[in-house]
Structure 1
Amino acid sequence: MIDNIKPKEATSIINSLVSGVVPKIGVQHITVGRSEEINAFISSLDDVKNGHSMAKFWIGDFGSGKSFMLHLLNTVALKQKFVVSNADFTPDNRLYSNDGKSVILYSAIMDNIAIQTKPEGGALQTLLEKWIEQVITKTAEENHISLSEIRNDQYLGLIQNSIMKTVNEITEVGGFDFGSVIVKYYEGYIKGDELLRRNALKWLKGEYKTKTEARQDLGVREIINDSNFYDMLKNFCKFFVSMGYSGFMINLDEAINLYKISTAAAREKNYEKILSIYNDCFQGKISNLFINFAGTKEFLENERRGLFSYQALKSRLETNKFETLEIRDFAQPVIKLTPLDHNEIFVLLKKLKLIFDFNYKVELNITDDEIFAFMEEMFNKPGASEFLTPREVIRDFLNILNIIRQNPNVDKKQLFGEIEISDERPNDLVMLDSIEEI
C-alpha cells in the first residue's frame, strides 16, 4: 500500500485524474521521475526563505505534467511554511490589461491562497485573523493590558493605531488603504459585524468594481485594479513574511493563453509585465516571492507569438547552451519537463492501482504483466508517438480499472484493444500553429 495516504487524498487523486485534471491534494503519492527537479526546487525555496526572490518557467507539451508539477511544488512549499496560491491564465484574465482582466487574475490568486492547515485554498481569512491576533497580543504586552481586556471597545483606537503602524512598516505602494481595510476587518472581527468583515475581504480580494462603492462601504479612496494589483501582491508577500511565513509562492498555469492573445500589442504588454516581474525577482527589488509560470514550448520559443518574440525575455530565458538531454541545468530560470520514460510510467500505474484499490476498498485482479500489456497496446497505437500524453495514459488506465471493478469478468485484453489515441491539444492552438506555418 502507499505509505501514509489519507482516504481524502485517495479520493481526490482518483476523481481528479479520471476527469483529466490534477488533484489539489495528495500529488506527492503519485510522483515519479521528478527527483532532480524537486531537489533543485527545494534549493531555490531555501534561497527565497533567506530573502531572495525567484521566477521559474516550467515548460512542457500538453499533458506532459506541467500542472502536476505545480501542484507538487505546492505540497513541498507548504511543508516549508510558505503561503502558496495557484491561478490559471484564461481568455478572461491576464497580467496586463485596461479592462479588468488583470484584477480577475488577482482575485483568483487571492481566492486560492493556501497554507499547510488549509492546503485546498481559501486561507486568506484565516491568515488575516491570525495576524490580527498577533497584533493584539503584541499591543497588550507593550501596554501592560490583559488579553481579555484589550478587546474592549475602549481600546479599539489603540489596536487600530497598532495595525496601521505595523502595516505601514511592511508595505509601500497602497499601504495606507491596505491598512485602513484591515482596520475595518478588525472592527468587524471584534464587534461581530459580519457585513463589515465581508466588505473588507471583498476589497482585499479585488472584487470592488468602483471607488464610490468602496468609499461608501469602507471609507477608503482606492480599489485594487489592473494597474496596482501587482503592488498589492507584493504587499501581501511582506504581510505573510511579517507573520512568520517563509514567503509567498504564486503558480500561474496555462500561460499558453497569453500566447493566444490576438493582438500583438496586447501580447507584448503582457510579456513586458513578465519581464518586470522577472527583473524584480532577480534584481532584489522584492524579497521572499517565488513565481512559477507553466506553459508549452510554443509559449516560450515561438518567435512571432511566444516569449521569444520579446527580445529582452529571449535573452534571459534561452537555454544554457551547455545543457543536453543527459546533462541538465536545473538552476536556470527555464525548466523543460522531459517526458516520463516507460519504466517511470509503469511505476506510476502500479501506484495508481494501489490507490484505486484503497479508495474503493477492493483488490482488483490485475497483474504487472497485464499493466505491461496495457502500456504496450497504448504505445503501439497509431498516433501514439505524436499525440500520446501521460494524462491520457493515466485516464485510460483508471477508466479500465473502473470497468474491471464494476464488471469483474470482463475480458481485459479486449478492453486494451479498444484504446484509441487522440490529439488532446485545444483546437484553437492547432489552428494557430497552422497559421504560423503558412
Structure 2
Amino acid sequence: MTDNIKPKEATAIINSLIGGVVPKIGVQHITVGRSDEINAVVSALEDVKNGHSMVKFWIGDFGSGKSFMLHLLNTVALKQKFVVANADFTPDNRLYSTDGKGAALYAAIMDNVAIQTKPEGGALPTLMEKWIEQVIMKTSEENNIPLQNIRNAEYLPLIQTNIMKTINEITEVGGFDFGTVVVKYYEGYIKDEEQLRRNALKWLKGEYSTKTEAKRDLGVREIIDDLNYYDMLKNFCKLFVSMGYSGFMINLDEAINLYKISTSVMREKNYEKILTIYNDCFQGKISNLFINFAGTKEVLENERRGLFSYHALKSRLETNKFETAEMRDFAQPVIRLFPLSHNEIFVLLKKLKAIFDFNYKMTTNISDDDILAFMEEMFNKPGASEFLTPREVIRDFLNILNILRQNPDIDKARLFGDITISDERPDTVLMDSIEEL
C-alpha cells in the first residue's frame, strides 16, 4: 500500500488531513471510489491537449470530496504535462469586481501555478526562466551566435526583439505591456538585478495596485486589474502551450462564496463571468484551457441565489435527463460527486493506517476488525446519517491513531466510545432568508 509513496507525501497527507484540509501532494495514494470520474478527466484532458477547451462543475454535499477531487485533477493533469493552478473563492476573491477582488483571484491563481517538478505551486519564476531560455536558444540558432556568447550585453537588443515578437504572436490583449515586462524580467535575469526581476514577477502575478507604481518600476502603462485579468490568464495559457506544455488547468474551489454575495446585481455579474468563460471554452474562442469549479448542490440549483438563478447558465448546466445513479454521464459539464460507500471508506482508512505507520516508522496496534469497529461506532452515532462527512471520519480516525501511537496501552474501545458527531456544514440553508440589498 505504501510502495510508491515518498516520505514527504506521507507527512503532507497525515498533517493535512488531521488539519481538515486536502494535501497538496500525494492525493493519488488515498484515492478510492473515483475511477469513473478520473477516466472521464483523462479523456477530457486529451481533448484539451488537442486544442479544445473545457469547463467542469464538480457538485457535491459538504465534505463529499470536492476539494479532494480538484487536487486529484491536479495530479492527473501534471502527469499529462499541464500547467495547473488552484485558488479558492473567498469574500475577497471573485470573478467579477470593481474593487480589486477579481485581480486578487488572479493573484491567487498565479501564486499557485504548479508544474510536475514543482507540484506544490510557486512555479511561475521557473516557467518564465524556462521560456526565456527557449527564446535565447532560438535566437542563438537563427543568428548563428554561439550559446556562450548570446547572453553578452551586445546581444541584449536582439533577445529583447525576439521576446516581444514571440509575445505579440501569442497574445491578443495587453501584449505590449506583457512583453515589456517579460523583457524587464529577462534584463534582471541576465544582469543579475534581483529587484528588477522581482518587480517584473510582481506585475505578472497581478500584485501592483497602481499604474503609477508600475510605470516607475517597469515603465509600463497598465497593470493587471479586475477588467483585464481574464485576458492575461488566456495569454499565459498560450505562452505555456508555446513552451511545449499540454495546456493550462485552473481549479476554483469554494463557489459557495459566490452564492453568498449579498447583492443580486453583483452576484449576477459573477455568474455572467462564468457564462463568458463557459462560452469561450465551448465555442472555441480559446484553446488548451481547462477550468473547474467546485460547489454544493445549493450553489448550482438554488433558483434564487445559485447558478440556476441566471437563466443562461441554468439552460447550460441542467443535468442530462437520462442520467441515473447507475447510468452516469461524465461528458456533461456538471459532474455530481456521490458520497463514498462504507466499503470504500473502509479501504480508505486501511490506506491511511498504512501511510500513518510509514510516516512514523512504526506499526500501530489497530487491525482491520478494529477499523470496522470504529466505523460501526461512528455510523451508528445519533446524527451520523445527517451530519457525518468523510472529512470527519478521516480526522477522527487519524486522531485516534495519534493517541494510540503515543499511548499504545490505551483501551481502543474506550476511544471509539468517546466519538461524538457534530454538524460541520456551513450555514447555507439560511442564506435564502437574507434580505436582498
Q: Please confirm whether the aligned pair reaches a TM-score higher than 0.5, indicating the same fold.
A: yes
Q: Which runs of 5+ in 2 are unaligned?
A: none
SS of 1:249's partner is strand
Structure 2: distance between partners of 1:235 and 1:387: 44
Letter of the 2:268 counterpart:
E
Letter of the 1:360 counterpart:
Y
State the partner residue of 1:56. 56
SS of 1:151's partner is coil
SS of 1:120's partner is coil
Q: Equivalences for 1:166-315 in 2 at 5 Å?
A: 166-315=166-315
Structure 1: distance between partners of 2:357 and 2:212: 56
Structure 1: distance between partners of 2:172 and 2:431: 42
Structure 2: distance between partners of 1:101 and 1:416: 45
Structure 2: distance between partners of 1:199 and 1:283: 36
Structure 1: distance between partners of 2:432 and 2:349: 32
Range that drifts further, 3-12 or 417-426: 417-426
State the partner residue of 1:17. 17
Q: Equivalences for 1:15-414 in 2 at 5 Å?
A: 15-414=15-414
Given that 2:92 and 2:101 are in contact with CA atoms closer than 8 Å, whether structure 1 keeps it comes out as yes
Letter of the 1:127 counterpart:
L
State the partner residue of 2:430. 431
Structure 1: distance between partners of 2:188 and 2:76: 35
Deviations 1:377-397 (A, max 9, x none): 111111111111000000000
Letter of the 1:296 counterpart:
T
Q: Which runs of 5+ in 1 are unaligned?
A: none
Deviation above 2 Å: which 4+ runs of structure 1?
433-436
Residue 3 of structure 1: how far off its partner (Å): 2.2
Residue 398 of structure 1: how far off its partner (Å): 0.3
Residue 320 of structure 1: how far off its partner (Å): 0.2
Letter of the 2:157 counterpart:
G
Structure 1: distance between partners of 2:221 and 2:15: 45
Structure 1: distance between partners of 2:338 and 2:3: 27
From the superposition, tell whether residues 433 and 32 of structure 1 become closer, same or farther in structure 2 (CA, over 3 Å): farther
Structure 2: distance between partners of 1:273 and 1:380: 44
Letter of the 1:286 counterpart:
I
Given that 2:305 and 2:432 are in contact with CA atoms closer than 8 Å, whether structure 1 keeps it comes out as no
Residue 430 of structure 1: how far off its partner (Å): 4.3
Deviations 1:281-330 (A, max 9, x none): 00000000000000000000000000000000000000000001111000
Structure 2: distance between partners of 1:316 and 1:419: 43
Structure 1: distance between partners of 2:400 and 2:155: 64
Letter of the 1:126 counterpart:
T
Deviations 1:21-80 (A, max 9, x none): 000000000000000000000000000000000000000111110000000000000000
Deviations 1:146-176 (A, max 9, x none): 0111100000000000000000000100011
Letter of the 2:187 counterpart:
E
SS of 1:400's partner is helix
TM-score, normalised to structure 2's length?
0.99
Residue 426 of structure 1: how far off its partner (Å): 2.1
Given that 2:22 and 2:68 are in contact with CA atoms closer than 8 Å, whether structure 1 keeps it comes out as yes
Letter of the 2:222 counterpart:
E
Letter of the 2:170 counterpart:
I
Given that 2:187 and 2:193 are in contact with CA atoms closer than 8 Å, whether structure 1 keeps it comes out as yes
Residue 2 of structure 1: how far off its partner (Å): 1.8
Structure 2: distance between partners of 1:194 and 1:220: 19
Letter of the 2:360 counterpart:
Y
Structure 2: distance between partners of 1:192 and 1:431: 56
Residue 425 of structure 1: how far off its partner (Å): 1.4
Structure 2: distance between partners of 1:31 and 1:223: 41
Given that 2:67 and 2:294 are in contact with CA atoms closer than 8 Å, whether structure 1 keeps it comes out as yes
SS of 2:150's partner is helix
Given that 2:10 and 2:358 are in contact with CA atoms closer than 8 Å, whether structure 1 keeps it comes out as yes
Range that drifts further, 194-203 or 417-426: 417-426
Residue 434 of structure 1: how far off its partner (Å): 5.9
Deviations 1:186-216 (A, max 9, x none): 0000100001000000000001111111111
Structure 2: distance between partners of 1:269 and 1:161: 40
Structure 1: distance between partners of 2:333 and 2:345: 27
Q: Report the RMSD for the aligned CA atoms in angstroms.
A: 0.9
Structure 2: distance between partners of 1:410 and 1:330: 47
Given that 2:304 and 2:432 are in contact with CA atoms closer than 8 Å, whether structure 1 keeps it comes out as no
Structure 1: distance between partners of 2:344 and 2:125: 40
